[in-house]
Every structure is written in structure tokens, then in C-alpha cells.
Amino acid sequence: MMRVMASEFIKIRRKMILFLVFLGPIGVIGLEAVNFGIRYDWLTGVYKDDLWRGLIGEVAMLSIPTILIGLTILTSMIANIEHQTNAWKQLLALPISKTKVFTGKFLLSVLLLFLSCLLLASGTVLLGLLLKFGTNIPFLYLFKMCFFPCLASLPFIAVQTWLAITIKNQAIPLTLGIIGAIVSMYSMNFPDWVPLKWPLLLNDWDKPIYSVLAGLVTGILLYFMSLIDFNRRDVK
């Protein structure tokens, strides 16, 4: 599996993929910088009890649609490396199981998304310091708010990976993913069982971890289902 990942990392060289991984968090932090820059007095008024929590909350809100759109583009670009010149037939005629190939693509998306989340967390700290919110940073809360939406999005990573790999025409997974991201922005009043709501970390129990757990379990389940389907299919 290490070899599969090493090969995947060679293949994303000189692609826009890594640029995208940086663009997402930089965009979010940039927008929040503008947000706090313009409405500094008002926002510091609203969040006067805990400035850091206020900032982190704002960042997390904006990061959710960014994560969903980002993962859609990411999974599509990763699959497209093979689609572009029909490299699937070469890749899958190598002595590597289809399971490893699929898992490699899935894992690459997850890793890159985590990297984005890490950058987001660092960016948030940087912004908070620049805004002179002090050094009493609630790190646990910060990491929760940066990584939980990502973890709760695991079902989408699985589904988008599967769509992007099985459908050659990338317009389809891209469209579906972006529709999903938009719908999820308006999903706070959806019932709790709707997966699109999970990245928002909202539920009747007010426990974000429940959304994360639901996402993880469903995500792993969907990963296995996609994997079975991928193994069954003839290579194009």
C-alpha cells in the first residue's frame, strides 16, 4: 500500500492538485480576514466573551462548503489523471489488486483534504494573532472545528471518488458534487439522518461528535460498497 501511495504522489506532481489544497484554506482565511477587517468593531462586539471561539466559528462556517466543493474537484482531478489517456488499462494490468488502486485514490483524497484542514487551522491561528485576539487559543476547539466537518464528509469523499472513477465524463461527478455542496449549505433544518447535514455538525443532541461518527461509519460503509462495485466492473 505504501508503494501505491508513493506512485500516486508522483502522479500528482505538476498538477494543479496541490495548488488547490492550498487555495482552499487560503481562500477561507482570506475571506475571514476581509470579514473581520471590515466589520471588526461589530464582530468583536458580538464575540466579546470569547474572541477566539467567534473567529473559529466563522471560519468553520465558511470552510464547510469549501470542503465539499474542494473534495469534489479533488476526487475528480485525481481520477482524471487516469481517464485522460486511458491509463486505467495500464495501471490495472500491473500486479496490483484493484482494491489497492481504489483505496489509493480514496486515501489520497482523504490525506490531501486533511492537509487542507491543517493549513486551515494554522491559518486561523495566524489570523487570530494578527487580529490581536491574544494567545489564549482554544486549540482543542480549533482542531475540532477544522477537522470534524472534514471527517463528517467522509461519505462524500467515498461517493465522489466512486463517481469520478467509474464515470469518464467528469462533468457528471462535478455537477453532482457541487449540487450536494449547495444543498448542504441549506440543510440545517433537514432531519438528522440526512448525510448532507452532517458536515454542519448540527443535531438534536447538540453533540458534534455524533455527526462525525455517523459520517465515519457511513463513509467506511460507502467506501466498501464502491470498492465492491469497482472490483466487479470491467476496465474501460
Query: Cα dist. 147→131, 153, 215 in Å?
Result: 23, 10, 12
* Cβ count near 66 (within 10 Å): 19
Identify which of 12, 196, 14 has the alpha carbon closest to the alpha carbon of residue 111. Answer: 12
Residue with C-alpha cell 458534487? 177
Q: Given the complex with other proteins, which of 86 and 175 has the nearer CB atom?
A: 86
Yes or no: say if 163 and 172 are a contact pair by the CB < 8 Å rule.
Answer: yes
Cα four-point dihedral sign 194, 195, 200, 203: positive
Pairwise CA distance, residues 161 & 222, whole Å: 10
Pairwise CA distance, residues 198 & 151, whole Å: 9
Q: Given the complex with other proteins, which of 170 and 218 has the nearer CB atom?
A: 170
Q: Given the complex with other proteins, which of 94 and 140 has the nearer CB atom?
A: 94
Shortest distance, position 89 Cβ to other proteins, whole Å? 5
Shortest distance, position 225 Cβ to other proteins, whole Å? 19
Torsional class of 175: left (φ above 0), alpha (ψ -120 to 50), beta (otherwise): alpha
Shortest distance, position 4 Cβ to other proteins, whole Å? 7
Q: Given the complex with other proteins, which of 61 and 81 has the nearer CB atom?
A: 81
- Which positions lie near other proteins, rule CB under 8 A? 3-4, 6-7, 10-11, 13-15, 81, 84-97, 234-235
Shortest distance, position 192 Cβ to other proteins, whole Å? 41
Shortest distance, position 126 Cβ to other proteins, whole Å? 32
Question: Rounded to the nearest 5°, which phi and psi values hold at 105?
Answer: -65, -45
Tally of residues, the chain: 236
The C-alpha cell at 220 is 467506511
Shortest distance, position 27 Cβ to other proteins, whole Å? 24
The DSSP element (H or E) to which 180 belongs, if any, is: helix 171-185
Q: Given the complex with other proteins, which of 93 and 188 has the nearer CB atom?
A: 93
Q: Given the complex with other proteins, which of 54 and 104 has the nearer CB atom?
A: 104
